[in-house]
A and B are shown apart, each in its own frame.
Chain A
Amino acid sequence: MKKCWHRRHITEAIVKSFMLLSFGLVAGSLGLILWAIISRGLPSLSWEMISQPPQGGFYMGGGGGILNAILGSLYMAGAGTLIALILGLPIALYLETYLGDSAWGQYVRLALDVLWGIPSIVYGVFGFTLMLALGMRASMLGGIIVLTLLELPIMTRAMDEVIRMMPQDLEQAALALGSTRLEVALRVVTRQMLPGIITAILLAFGRGIGDAASVLFTAGYTDRMPNSLLTPVASLPLAIFFQLSTPFPTVRERAYAAALILTVIVLAVSLGSRWISGRLSKFIVK
């Protein structure tokens, strides 16, 4: 039987091809970005860059690397993630096991959404003003505080979302056996949702390590290795940014390599979280 081609079938075909086109565009953009970063970053990437702090005249093409920035970023994002976890996990558990869909829970969620929406530059300005009021200078501690503030809503909201997906029966079974809400939260929810919680933690870590605008004022920048909480510390995004703003081609080339390093770290964290949560989800009740 010959298919009868109406106008609507032609429209369907046209629209569908447009959809496939834009789908390819979106999928291709990741490839394009990665290809650009890798092809420009790889040639100037060297072991020296990863293993040494900057030496004299680094920003005019001198020797050395950006180990100080890599470590500074890892320290600040790591500490920020840890504090955000300590504050955020109780909030997420409280939202699910104690509050449920109550009005207060909705307000807390709205506040978290609002905080998530606040741009990192505003966190940076806020953090810097707070530090001025406390008499602090740009320091690693300042950077950690700001990254904590930045990561807290991301992590808590992501945890809240996975915890909400938990089968209700599980929680109710535990409650029916006479456990208190706290016991449900700590012994049932946390274990069952461990893969999701780890994903949320690593998501927040990735966001924290890649953010430049928030640490711009609060953590400062230095060529020394990070050694104290109260002195300025270098960070990878700012290292990229500052190296790009010099007029020297060799230094700019190194900025591309630094961008490659940051991309690799962030993508490794993202893929790693997927892998870990995949492994761990073997141990949860389906």
Chain B
Amino acid sequence: MSQSSKTTTNPTKLNREGRADRPSLLARRRQDQFAGRTFFIFSLIPILLALIILIMLVVRSWPIFQAHSLWDMLMGQEWKPEEGLFGFMPFIAGTVWVTTAGLILAVPPCLLTAIYLSEYAGNRLRAFMKPLLDLLAAIPPVVYGVWGIIAVVPLLQDWLVPFAKKYLQNVPLLNSQNPTGFSILAGAIVLAVMVAPFIISVIYEVMNNIPSGLKDASLALGTTRWQTIRWVVFPQALPGIIAAIVLGASRALGETIAVLMVVGNVAQVPHSLLDTAYPLPALIANNYGDMMSVPLYDSALLSVALILLVMILIFNIGSTLVLRRFVKDWV
């Protein structure tokens, strides 16, 4: 008897017919539809937010686009807000240098690591690598910046800079008058380590989506693994790999604090990897909020944010669309 009372774990009230009182189907359907409508409104948030951010930046940077032509600002070499000179060239050049150098450093090891993980590694190694990449991705940008100051900058300052001064004065990318380690190369190294986990996981995802039948067929013909990768997997995966790199670039473009801490922040067009640079996000971070009394200054900085955002959006949306087409279940 006690057994049976235990099994009825849910003592719902029973109505006259001996059935449990539950909401009617109609009520449940109404609830469902109501929830659907509410959820729909919630789902408008991301779309509206993206639009509002874009519109706000355009509206607020409009004054400067009316005062100066966009081309003049993009090509202008001088940044003297007090005199009404807003030349973005040094900052755009700084961003391009740091991002390109960072990606050149990051891509080869990332590509090889991702290929190794997807084609060679056993399950145990993969299971070990996933948390490792998660941890690397979880470390905050400011900590990467601190690491840059503790480890990368002194290394460059004590070893590479004197060496380059002595022996590499004629090498185009390494001759510089900058005596410190705060340089594009330092920013690029920090950036490379930061985007690496991201690029690796996307490339890994892409490689894993290549149909294994293709690989098996190739291997069955007696090729080595590398031949299969080089001539079968790689051509198939190439668009996805490029998209992964572009996605990594869009992350790198917007990286602010970590780069700002190690890159020196001198407004000049850099000519060598050991020069200092002043990327666009650093310009915003260092100047936005103060000096609001200078006419058009606020608008100029918001137009910098707009330029940065447009660059990133083009990269981001383009690569996302490629990856969606490419990787099954890329959501």
* Residue ranges of A at the interface with B (Cβ–Cβ < 8 Å): 8-9, 11-12, 15-16, 18-23, 25-27, 29-30, 32-33, 36-37, 40, 87, 90-91, 93-95, 98-99, 104, 107-115, 117-126, 128-130, 149, 152-153, 156-157, 160-161, 164, 180-183, 185, 203, 206, 209-213, 216-217, 237, 240-241, 244, 255-256, 259, 262-263, 266-267, 269-271, 274
Rounded to whole Å, the gap between the CB of B29 and the closest CB of chain A is 6
Q: Which residues of A contact B257 (CB under 8 A)?
A: 212-213, 237, 241
A255 contacts B46, CB within 8 Å? no
Of A113, A121, A209, A274, which contacts B256 at CB under 8 A? A121
A94 CA / B40 CA spacing, docked (Å): 7
- Segment with Cβ contacts to A, from B13-21, B164-172, B206-214, B222-230: B222-230
Contacting pair A115 B112 (CB below 8 A): no
A263 touches B47 (CB 8 A): no
Q: A26-B200, A164-B331, A237-B257 are in contact. Are A180 and B29 (CB under 8 A)?
A: yes
Q: B28 within 8 Å of A by Cβ? A: yes
Name the CB-closest residue of A to B290.
Answer: A217
A19 to chain B: which residues have CB within 8 Å?
112-113, 115-116, 120
| Nearest CB on B from A242, distance (A) | 11
Indicate if B305 sits at the interface (CB-CB under 8 A).
yes
| Minimum CB distance partner of A269 in chain B | B138
A263-B56 contact in complex given A25-B109, A37-B146, C-beta closer than 8 Å: no
Q: What does the 1/0 interface line of B290-324 toward A look like (CB < 8 Å)?
A: 00000000000110010011001100110010000
Q: Are B47 and A119 in contact (CB under 8 A)?
A: no
A161 vs B224: C-alpha distance in the bound complex, in angstroms?
A: 35
Give the distance to chain B from A215, nearest Cβ to Cβ, in Å.
11
Taking CB atoms, residues of chain B closer than 8 Å to A22 are 108-110, 112-113, 116
Known contacts A20-B116, A119-B253, A259-B142; is-contact A36 B226 (Cβ 8 Å) = no
Q: Evaluate contact between B129 and A122: CB separation under 8 angstroms.
A: no
Q: Complex formed: what's the CA distance from A115 to B44 in Å?
A: 13
Residue B72 at the chain A interface, CB threshold 8 Å: no
Total B residues in contact with A, Cβ cutoff 8 Å: 83
Q: Is there an interface contact between A18 and B135, defined as CB atoms closer than 8 Å?
A: no
State in angstroms the CA–CA spacing of A263 and B254 once bound together: 22
Q: Which of A25, A90, A109, A125 is within 8 Å of B302, CB to CB?
A: A125
19 contacts between A and B (CB under 8 A): A19-B113, A22-B113, A25-B109, A30-B136, A33-B139, A36-B150, A91-B39, A112-B46, A115-B50, A118-B254, A119-B254, A121-B254, A125-B284, A128-B289, A164-B331, A182-B28, A237-B141, A241-B145, A270-B138
- Shortest 7 CB-CB contacts between residues of A and residues of B: A119-B254, A210-B140, A22-B109, A94-B39, A180-B32, A117-B316, A19-B116
Residues on A with C-beta less than 8 A from B132 are 26-27, 30
Q: Which B24-75 residues sit within 8 Å CB-CB of chain A?
A: 28-29, 31-32, 35-36, 38-40, 42-43, 45-47, 49-50, 53, 56-57, 60
Which residues of chain A are within 8 angstroms of B305 by Cβ–Cβ distance?
121-122, 125
